[in-house]
């Protein structure tokens, strides 16, 4: 468990990034991370660049980008393309999506809060929450849920 600062085992990378070992291997399999050098016994050894790249992926994933988008972002970062303009485009489209979801969630929070409030203090057989879900009321609004 004493890997040098420049060569880390997959377990160390996992601990440092908070990304599961299986997920790291998965990212390699789908081509997001390059295949690292191996020990004579076949164990993966990662350097600092790999750590940076993995952090990039994780950060982008946390921001809700799909793996395909992350792939595009990485190839831009790797130097293909005019960078900034394309990146802004990708991020801008993503931002629109995020704003839509945000609206939906806000509406949802209102509905749930309201439901729970009306529910509280009753063991009545006709639960207002179930009722609301069955009858609709304010639950709908934004369409397009195929």
What part of residues 44-83 is at the interface with DNA (CB under 7 A)? 44, 61, 66-68
CA distance 90 to 69: 8
Among 18, 31, 40, 80, binds DNA (CB under 7 A): 40
Q: Which two tokens stand for residue 92?
A: 């801008």
Angle between helices 128-135 and 84-119 (to 10 degrees): 130
For the CB of residue 144, give the shortest distance to DNA in the complex, in Å.
11
Choose the binding region for DNA from 23-31, 90-98, 106-114, 125-133 (rule: CB under 7 A). 23-31
DSSP reduced 3-state for 31: coil
Choose the binding region for DNA from 41-49, 86-94, 123-131, 136-144 (rule: CB under 7 A). 41-49
DSSP reduced 3-state for 44: strand
**Does 26 engage in binding with DNA (CB under 7 A)?**
yes
């Amino acid at each position: 468990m004493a890997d040098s600062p420049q060569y880390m085992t997959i377990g160390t990378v996992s601990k440092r990034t908070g990304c599961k070992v299986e997920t790291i291997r998965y990212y390699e399999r789908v081509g997001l991370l390059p295949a690292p050098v191996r020990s004579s016994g076949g164990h993966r050894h990662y350097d600092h660049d790999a750590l940076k790249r993995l952090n990039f992926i994780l950060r982008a994933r946390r921001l809700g980008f799909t793996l395909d988008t992350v792939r595009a972002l990485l190839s831009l970062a790797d130097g293909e393309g005019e960078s900034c303009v394309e990146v802004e485009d990708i991020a801008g489209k993503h931002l629109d999506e995020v704003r839509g979801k945000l609206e939906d969630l806000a509406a949802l929070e209102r509905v749930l809060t309201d439901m729970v409030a009306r529910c509280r203090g009753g063991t009545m057989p006709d639960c207002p929450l179930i009722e609301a879900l069955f009858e609709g009321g304010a639950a709908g609004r934004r369409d397009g849920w195929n």
